[in-house]
Chain A
């Protein structure tokens, strides 16, 4: 264990004084949501939660999570193995191509799917003259399952890739010299060692599925997030109740992820050698076809559909200029949130890494809560807060609407702060505390050591976190829908309203712009992969 600085110092007390109120502010909406749910009379709550309709929502959510987890693993694990451990041709290119779908917003993907295969999609248009009256409906389970699987399998892919790369090749070699065949070695050693990576990836997929709003809303598949959104206008108390159940499920998945996190069963020690690649031989073609099929479904087809609708729209008088104002608004809101999160992440990270204690650990966990809060829940919580607590203020100042840019940015921070904390923490963990200690012994004060040694060394992590947070906030749909001020149309809400009215041609331009910008986050994702 690396020795760290003593626990209670003026600095650590100052950090605590900053982070404790911050953590409380981050918790506030959730706590308020819970209070609001608790106000529902317990008899009503029970009868609502056990009603057939509610049980169906729960059942559909679990079905979708289970089905997507399985199919994402079935795609992600073989794809990772092919790109890391075999002589697959164009491995580097495949790695990039297979990672890209991760950055496509789910509502954009679902929009493309509906735009192609829906009742008013162009495939139907082509087939109508051939006598095909009606394509089988892609709405409901199958559409949602397909969309979320093809967008979330990269979590398994990247996690298993990292696991395969971190595997000490000497373990497999030892197994071979002890008389075990290649297949036995894969089963008994490789797969066993990969279990933590597979589990981590699948749990991320499950969390993504549970919290996704865009795909299930467009596919009209009534799982938790959509049910909450629909309840919103009818009964806020019951929406809060559903939210609490959803958050409990998400927290359950996060706890599961934490428990299964490799501890000791994994060596970080590894040989410098790269393991020998498996020769695919006559399987090369089959492997290429498998990966091409995934890339076609997850990337090429949706981009093709959007491009088709863009051209179609331009021919019918749509202009691209309508994208400019929403783009500016998206950038402004996301940039404000990312900068705020970058600054807020620092005290949490420093406290957790340099002054480890039960309290600092608990504070860090609190900041990570955003991961367990689906966007629709965060949005709902702020609707409550805005309507109630800020309502009084607004009345005083004669404001009629609680929705504001400030509230939107705050909600983004609550939801996505972990994305800024993660890379910053990794950056600080790479800074050897002995460097700071040697700077201290050279006569620099602690604040100056932080500015002259720590911050410059952890800067890449901080910047990566801010950039990732920016790109994620750009894509966020439900929070923006619920909290953006009237008239503050962003790319996400522009796509949403165009798609709900089936104006695919109008949604194509903002969707393509959003995908293009989101693709930038790939730089950071792939960086962390190598």
Chain B
């Protein structure tokens, strides 16, 4: 391989007192790619990011940035030598410096300094805001200044720590698109830390799902959604109905009848996962009898909650055409193969 990977982490671990925040985390990111570390709050994803930036020292493991070992073998390179840009959750713009001074902060002295600031301001669409102070900017604008400041010294790797969590929901989608565009144009490798699966899916080429300090699965958004390796991963990426079932090699028997298994063969008691959009409803076709509880109309689709004869509740996402009234009888049928995981207590 001629070009080294943007980052290689190997068996990273970190504890804070008795709390094991990160355990044996390993991954690799090629140059120019975008990885999302996705997980619930407290799963250790921010600690991984801070170790990469050099703000925390790993207890064990190695970090290699653009071919240079920065952590490992007892040595730890200080943050200011790592060539890593970090965009903080609260932006951490220097309140006593103007927009231009903030962006120029990481640049050396020289004539190119001004030109570089101008380039970045135009990249983030804030030309003309040079002399403003951070407090005079909106949240979205502060966000873009923080991004420009992190990109200014041309880092080998850009780190983003929950960068959209301080923005209004209405603003978030727009800013997210802007940021994606800016990062693409800058051509920089990037790692995003987030707890929002939608954010991870729409920004990153590749997603690493973390729980309790460990990476459970790494893959594309499609791979994680369609072939999650655990019930936990499946439920964190999108909604799922969980039904008890009894697996017999290539099929599983459930309250919805005998369903074909995807990850076969399996045996014994299992949890069957049904994505709401993989269930069809009909008034009088084939399938299991159920009753409509409630329907919420969303325009492009509707969410319908039904109850099977044995009381099992199911959520179904379906087309907007039929007006399902509460109490109406309905037939439920599963489309395609289903996912199942051996039950923990079985």
Contacts and interface: CB of A to CB of B under 8 A. Distances in A.
Interface of A: 168, 170-171, 173-182, 189, 192-193, 264-267, 269, 271, 276
Nearest to A170: B92
B153 A178 contact: yes
A22 to B, nearest CB: 37
Contacts of B80: 176-181
A176 B94 contact: no
Contact of A179 (B88, B90, B95, B106): B106
B96 A173 contact: no
Contact of B95 (A173, A267, A271): A267
Interface in B132-187: 133, 135, 149-150, 152-153
Q: What 5 A-B pairs have minimum CB-CB distances, sorted nearest first?
A: A178-B106, A170-B92, A176-B79, A174-B92, A177-B86
A269 B92 CA distance: 10
Contacts, number: 70
Please tell me the size bucket of the interface on B: 20 to 34
Contacts of B90: 168, 170, 269, 271
A171 B106 contact: no
Nearest to A176: B79
A171 B153 contact: no
B94 A173 contact: no
A177 B84 contact: yes
Nearest to B53: A177
A175 B95 contact: no
A193 B153 contact: no
Contacts of B33: none
A265 B93 CA distance: 11
B86 A174 contact: yes
B260 interface: no
A402 B222 CA distance: 91
Where chain B touches its partner, the secondary structure class is: loop
B264 interface: no
Contacts of A177: 53-55, 79-80, 82, 84-86, 150
Point out which of B86, B92, B135, B149 has the most chain A C-beta atoms below 10 A from its C-beta.
B92
Given A179-B80, A179-B83, A181-B80, 19 more contacts: A168-B90, A170-B89, A173-B55, A173-B79, A173-B86, A173-B88, A174-B149, A176-B80, A177-B53, A177-B86, A177-B150, A178-B150, A179-B153, A182-B78, A189-B94, A193-B96, A264-B135, A265-B95, A265-B96
A267 B133 CA distance: 12
Point out which of B89, B90, B149 has the most chain A C-beta atoms below 10 A from its C-beta.
B90
A193 B94 CA distance: 9
Contacts of B53: 173, 177
15 contacts: A170-B88, A171-B94, A173-B53, A173-B55, A176-B55, A177-B53, A177-B55, A177-B150, A178-B85, A178-B105, A178-B106, A180-B106, A181-B80, A192-B96, A266-B95
A181 B153 CA distance: 15
A175 B86 CA distance: 10
A182 B95 CA distance: 19
A24 B20 CA distance: 63
A171 to B, nearest CB: 5
Nearest to B166: A269
Nearest to B136: A264
Contacts of A179: 80-81, 83, 106, 153
B85 A176 contact: no
B88 A176 contact: no
Nearest to B57: A276
A177 B70 CA distance: 14
Nearest to A181: B80
A175 B84 contact: no
Contact of A175 (B54, B78, B105): B105
Interface string B228-249: 0000000000000000000000
A179 B85 CA distance: 9
Nearest to B104: A178
Contact of A176 (B54, B96, B150): B54
B103 to A, nearest CB: 10
Contacts of A189: 94
B88 A264 contact: no
Contacts of B82: 177
Nearest to B159: A177
Point out which of B79, B83, B89, B150 has the most chain A C-beta atoms below 10 A from its C-beta.
B79
Contacts of B78: 176, 181-182
A193 B105 CA distance: 15
A123 to B, nearest CB: 49
Nearest to A275: B55
Nearest to A180: B80
Contacts of A168: 90, 92
B95 A264 contact: yes
Contacts of B106: 178-180
A35 B92 CA distance: 54
A178 B153 CA distance: 7
A181 B82 CA distance: 12
Contact of A171 (B79, B92, B133): B92
